Amino acid sequence: MSESKLAGQFFDAAIGLLERVRDEESGRINEAGTVIAEAVAAGNKLFAFGAGHSSLPAQDVVYRAGGLALMNFLAVPGTAGIDVMPATLGSALERVDGLAGAVLDSSPASDGDVLVIISLSGRNALPVEMAMNARAIGLKVIGVTSVAYATGTKSRHVSGTFLKDHCDIVLDSKIAVGDAELTHEGIEAPFAPASTVVTSAIMQAVMAAAAGELVARGVEPPLLRSGNVDGGHEWNGRVMQEYGDRIFFRH
């Protein structure tokens, strides 16, 4: 079997995007880590939200070996992946006005907490209203999005604004409009999306920055260990007991 040039081209494209994000977003990533560390040290809560495939990087930092135990997934029913039938329903729900407010009102999120909102396009009603409503009740909002969509597409929210317009910190994933890195003769549509790779890396970079900031403040980061290493379950049990009032995925 011959080596696929397309596979190598995708790796090159993804690596190029990761290097660009590292070089251009490092200051804001460190700022986001500081905001999260401040919330942990102050006794506040942490949440991450994303709809559709943007839920994957959010889920990647929740109940994760090597991750902050305090990061909770803010779930919106029907939007957290492709587990609904038909799968297109999830996309439709992202455009429903009022859904974000209902979710926040019934969640444990409150003044002083931090919410990371992930939306590649940032143009749909759900992430826009999630950010607007979160800030209205006193949450710090970190948005992870592709800023290019704000000039390359039109907002689907009545305000005409994008997620980036309602965040305390915006982390730009640098993903091009359409989220497809490759084209090839004989293939009609562009293909090979890299947003999940890049956005997941951004999220883990923020968590790393937060851990470093906590140590600098004299606070041991409440990290989880793998349950597949000796002593991992015991370690995690102690962390969850100490921080149980701010961990919601364990109930």
Residue 163 DSSP SS3: helix
Report which DSSP code applies to 48.
E
The answer to whether the pTM exceeds 0.85 is yes
Report which DSSP code applies to 181.
-
**Phi/psi of residue 68, each to 5°?**
-70, 125
Output the furthest CA–CA distance in the chain (Å, rounded). 58
- Counting as low any pLDDT under 70, the low residues of the chain are 1-3, 78, 82-83, 89-90, 95-96, 250-251
Q: Please give the helix or strand (H or E) that residue 197 lies within, else none.
A: helix 195-216
Q: What is the pLDDT of residues 62-94, one digit of tens each?
A: 999 999 999 999 988 767 776 677 777 667 777
Spatial CB neighbours of 145, under 8 Å, sequence gap ≥ 6: 118, 119, 120, 121, 122, 127, 162, 163, 164, 170, 171, 172, 173
Q: What is the pLDDT of residues 114-155, one digit of tens each?
A: 999 999 999 999 999 999 999 999 999 999 999 999 999 999
